[in-house]
Amino acid sequence: MSSSSSLLSEDQLQCSICLDVFTDPVSTPCGHNFCMVCLKECWDSSSRCQCPVCKTEFPTRLELSVNTFISGLAAQFKKSVQVKSSRAPEKPDKSQVLCDACCEKSAALKSCLICMASYCKTHLEPHERIASFRKHKLMDAVENLEDYICQNHERPLELFCRDDQTCVCQLCTETDHKTHSTVPIEEESGERKTQLGKTQAEVQQMIQDRLKKTKEMKESVELSKKSTEKVKADSVEVFRALLRCIERSQAELLEVMEEKQKAAERQAEEFIKELEQEITELKRRDTELEQLSHTEDHLHLLQVYPSLCSPPHTKNWTDVRINTHLRVETLRRALSQLQEELSKEMEKLDEIDLKRTEQYAVDVTLDPDSANPFLILSDDGKQVTCGDTEQNLPKNPERFDYCVCVLGKEGFSSGRFYYEVQVKGKTDWTLGVTTESSNRKGEITLSPEDGYWTIWLRNETEYTAAESPYVRLSLKQAPQKVGVFVDYEEGLISFYDVEVRSHIYSFTGQSFTEKLYPYFNPSDNDGDKNSAPLIITPVKHHK
């Protein structure tokens, strides 16, 4: 006669909690068997007294007694096959969801939205075998099961209400959301994933833009270094020709230039650090979007979507520039004290300055909407003269109604710009820049306080800078073409005699808070003595 152990398998004598052969087996009224220690530990860790397998609840905690029949079978089986009672199941990874039915807490495979519990492969078996359990809604194991259940009806959240932008259960569509537009959460999740893809593309483009901007800033600093070295070399060449009395001026100039370079480098380092921080944040958002776009957890996607649907707040870097333009006003002021002795050196300096200024040339066109009715503009918007007859033009706010003035079409609110105007053959003219909000009606006061930075010619030979008070200018010869340069951030407006390559005058230390527009006044014809036009000419770059 064969032994009893040959008729039994390990599965028949295995505790469903510790997954080992029974030790001191006990039975519950519902017919399931467990190790006594396993069942006690399971009940001790829970506020409910229920069967770990079928979830049957008992009104009071049961007095457990060892089932001697099963205990005898288990002992014989252990003896015959020499099963080690100390064997334990593999512990799950800390990041895994744990089985709610295991006291040893094995890793869960699925979560049931009806049972509101997660099960490992062993304890999931009733959901695959029992017909009524097979109707339960299973999903990949998650920890926060309560988030997937309707708080009002305790039913799975299977639908999405587009009217209220929230997840609902089937019963919700029969009550509060009866007339609302609802779709399966899988469908809404799919549409949100499409939008996430667009958002991710925007974030990736923002990363590329900032990487490009970082590269531009690094290149700008490098160019600034080269420019600084060039200016230093030119300055040293100038000072070598001077007497010992100006050695202090040379040192001051070099110090200013070095400080400007250091300031530019510090500014660039701050901007680059800020850009790198934004890039890090955008990459983090990109990673989150990438992970979310591949998730199958539709409800989780919808819950976190509002916080990720748009790129994080970042700075607009479009108009940010490194201030690398070095000016030579310090050197000019030093050399002006020795004007006669240093005239040749000053001419060399002006040439250097004007060459560097020409690189900021812009295309200026006259704005007919701002032109006084007596002014006649050429078809290409490059020339202006004063006529004898007033034209019938709209009396719009931007038009000069008394002074014969006109502005350039485009305004500038940052950076540097330069343009040249031919004044040949004229006995009176005014050139410069003005603010967007400056007065254009009636008589106009030309001064920085009133938003005008200009120089003018009167009576063929009288040149003036409209400072407060006015500054009379002494020029060796009459300019035929005047260059106008503006450095917005530096608060600088400079005027040049383009033909002889010399500096005329500079407004320094200004503070601009709005757009600046090129300003032109050809003055009255004065009996045809001043009939020549003001002409905006292309800038010729000198090597």
Q: Of 15-29, 168-182, 193-207, 362-376, which has the strongest mean pLDDT?
A: 362-376
Mean pLDDT of 428-443: 95
Pairing between β-strand 383-386 and β-strand 481-487 as defined by DSSP bridges: unpaired
Which of 26, 25, 21 shows the shortest CA–CA distance to 10?
21
Give 509-530 pLDDT, tens digit per residue.
999 999 999 999 999 998 889 9
Distances (CA, A) of 397 to 145, 394, 454, 515: 66, 9, 22, 16
Whole-angstrom CA distances from 222 to 191, 227, 228, 265 are: 47, 9, 10, 9
Closest CA to 253 of 354, 327, 323: 327
Which H helix or E strand runs over 235? helix 185-240
Q: How confident is the model at residue 5 (pLDDT cuts 50, 70, 90)?
A: very low
* Predicted confidence (pLDDT) per residue in 355-365, tens digit: 888 888 999 99
Q: 104-108, 162-166, 404-408: which has the minimum mean pLDDT?
A: 104-108
Query: CA 88 to CA 18: how far, in whole Å?
Result: 7
Q: Could you give the CA distance from residue 281 to residue 283 in angstroms, rounded to a whole number?
A: 5
The confidence score (pLDDT) of residue 83 equals 42
pLDDT digits (tens, 9 = 90+) for 320-347: 887 766 555 656 665 665 566 666 666 6
Q: C-alpha distances in angstroms, 235 versus 83, 239, 255?
A: 95, 6, 12
Spell out the residues 6+ positions from residue 297 whose beta carbon is closer than 8 angstroms to its own. 140, 142
Q: Which residue has the tokens 């939205």?
A: 113
Segment 119-170, tens digit of pLDDT = 888 888 888 888 888 888 888 888 888 888 888 887 888 899 999 999 998 8
Query: Using H for helix, E for strand and C for coil, what is the string for 377-402?
Result: ECCCCCEEEECCCCCCCCCCCCCCCC
- Left if phi > 0, otherwise alpha if psi is -120 to 50, otherwise beta: which for 161? beta
Q: Check: CB of residue 372 under 8 Å from CB of residue 509.
A: no
φ/ψ (deg, to 5) at 135: -85, -10
pLDDT range class, residue 301, cuts 50, 70, 90: confident
- pLDDT tens profile 248-269: 666 777 787 788 888 888 888 9
For the cut 90, the answer to whether the pLDDT of residue 418 exceeds it is: yes
Task: Give the pLDDT mean for 470-491.
Answer: 94
Q: Is the confidence at residue 371, as pLDDT, over 60?
A: yes
Q: Above 70 in pLDDT, residue 38?
A: yes
CA distance 321 to 269: 12
